[in-house]
């Protein structure tokens, strides 16, 4: 039982160490329950639930929605052979009922300091960490085996999930942010960049924006930063796609153009996160640059802009949190 508690603490420590670099706020109330207000919510054996669990609640302001998103998070730390569709189905079912109650619960809002008059959304986040680092299967295959249509998802409810490979990638990105700060490539203060879209406009100040949960699983994460002592202002982009073909990078470059980033004159540092990115990554990117310039009629000004983009792969870092170490309470 004691070891189980220590293993559970790994996910809690890991999530905080990751999400603070994506500028998420963490409510200090953790590992607490709140009252269930729906008699249809039942647990094992069909017995009505009295309470719902709460590991931790993160929050950030969504720049497109113009409201605060609260992520009521279920932290799981499983061994390799425990990550099964059956286990995931149970976790999703519990989270569905939890968020159904949390969205309309005065008890939940009071516990997590949420003003009812504040523009906000309450969503669920399932965080599945593999503490023995042995899980090498596609996590989404296990999720696909869960009959999501059969889950008790109330209308309007949104659930998100991060699997072991997502968490590994985000942990590596968080550590890369620390390294770039230490090398003077990135200042201590930065923001995540959200361009105006065709049908949606960003709201609020461009600075001090957090990474949304959708951004964390998107093809690329864009950081905008001011100048440092040794580096000009610009962008750091974490590229999460396979990076396997020039055509893929051509689409990426076109996206930067649509976001009006190429014309900004500011530095662009591209950091590739995918573990299977090709060995000749820079050659693939160079070919994409040449093809993109050709599509623009060999415009020398655009060629000069593209030639300034720096591309590197990040170092993959595996978390080394140990259940035995978690047992120390000093």
Q: Are residues 139 and 180 in the same domain?
A: no
| Number of structural domains in the chain | 2
Q: Are residues 183 and 227 in the same domain?
A: yes
Average pLDDT, the chain: 89
Q: Are residues 202 and 293 in the same domain?
A: yes
Mean pLDDT, residues 249-262:
92
pLDDT of residue 9: 83
pLDDT of residue 3: 41
Checking phi first, is residue 208 left (phi over 0); if not, alpha (psi -120 to 50) or beta? left
Q: Are residues 60 and 176 in the same domain?
A: no
The verdict on pTM exceeding 0.85 is: yes
* Cα angle 314-318-320, degrees, rounded to a multiple of 5: 145
| pLDDT single digits (tens) 77-102 | 998 898 999 999 999 999 999 999 99
Q: Which domain holds residue 56?
A: 2-162
Residue 297 falls within a domain, yes or no?
yes
pLDDT of residue 292: 92
Q: Are residues 152 and 11 in the same domain?
A: yes
The better pLDDT of the pair 330, 69 is held by 69
Lowest-confidence segment of 21-25, 141-145, 167-171, 281-285 by average pLDDT: 141-145
pLDDT of residue 134: 81
Exposure class string for 247-283: b at 16+ Cβ within 10 A, else e: ebbbebbeebbebebbeeeebbbbbbbbeebeeebee
Residue 320 falls within a domain, yes or no?
no
Residue 90 falls within a domain, yes or no?
yes
pLDDT band at 1 (very low <50, low <70, confident <90, very high): very low
| pLDDT single digits (tens) 292-323 | 999 888 778 888 889 999 999 999 887 656 55
pLDDT of residue 94: 94
Residue 107 falls within a domain, yes or no?
yes
Mean pLDDT, residues 238-266:
92
Q: Are residues 43 and 24 in the same domain?
A: yes
């Amino acid at each position: 039982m004691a070891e189980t508690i220590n293993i559970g603490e790994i996910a809690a420590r890991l999530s905080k160490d990751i999400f603070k670099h994506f500028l998420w706020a963490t409510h200090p109330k953790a590992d607490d329950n709140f009252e269930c207000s729906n008699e249809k919510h039942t647990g094992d054996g069909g017995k009505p639930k009295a309470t719902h669990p709460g590991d931790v609640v993160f929050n950030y302001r969504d720049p497109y929605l113009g409201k605060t998103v609260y992520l009521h998070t279920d932290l799981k730390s499983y061994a390799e052979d425990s990550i099964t569709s059956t286990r995931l189905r149970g976790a999703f079912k519990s989270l569905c009922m939890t968020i159904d109650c949390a969205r309309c619960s005065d008890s939940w809002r009071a516990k997590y300091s949420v003003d009812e008059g504040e523009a906000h959304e309450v969503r669920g986040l399932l965080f599945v960490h593999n503490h023995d680092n042995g899980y090498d299967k596609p996590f989404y295959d296990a999720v696909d085996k869960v009959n999501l249509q059969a889950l008790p998802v109330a209308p309007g409810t949104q659930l998100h999930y991060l699997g072991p490979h997502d968490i590994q990638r985000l942990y590596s990105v968080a550590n890369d942010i620390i390294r770039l700060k230490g090398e003077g490539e990135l200042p201590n203060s930065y923001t995540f960049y959200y361009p105006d879209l065709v049908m949606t406009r960003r709201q609020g100040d461009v600075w001090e924006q957090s990474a949304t949960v959708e951004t964390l699983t998107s093809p690329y994460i864009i950081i905008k930063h001011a100048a440092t002592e040794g580096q000009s202002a610009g962008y750091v982009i974490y590229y999460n796609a396979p990076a396997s073909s020039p055509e893929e990078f051509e689409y990426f470059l076109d996206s930067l153009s649509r976001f009006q980033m190429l014309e900004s004159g500011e530095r662009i540092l591209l950091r590739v996160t995918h573990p299977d990115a090709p060995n000749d990554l820079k050659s693939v990117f160079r070919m994409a640059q040449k093809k993109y310039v050709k599509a623009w009629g060999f415009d020398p000004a655009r060629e000069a802009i593209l030639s300034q983009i720096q591309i590197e792969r990040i170092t993959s870092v595996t978390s080394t949190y140990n259940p035995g170490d978690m047992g120390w309470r000093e």
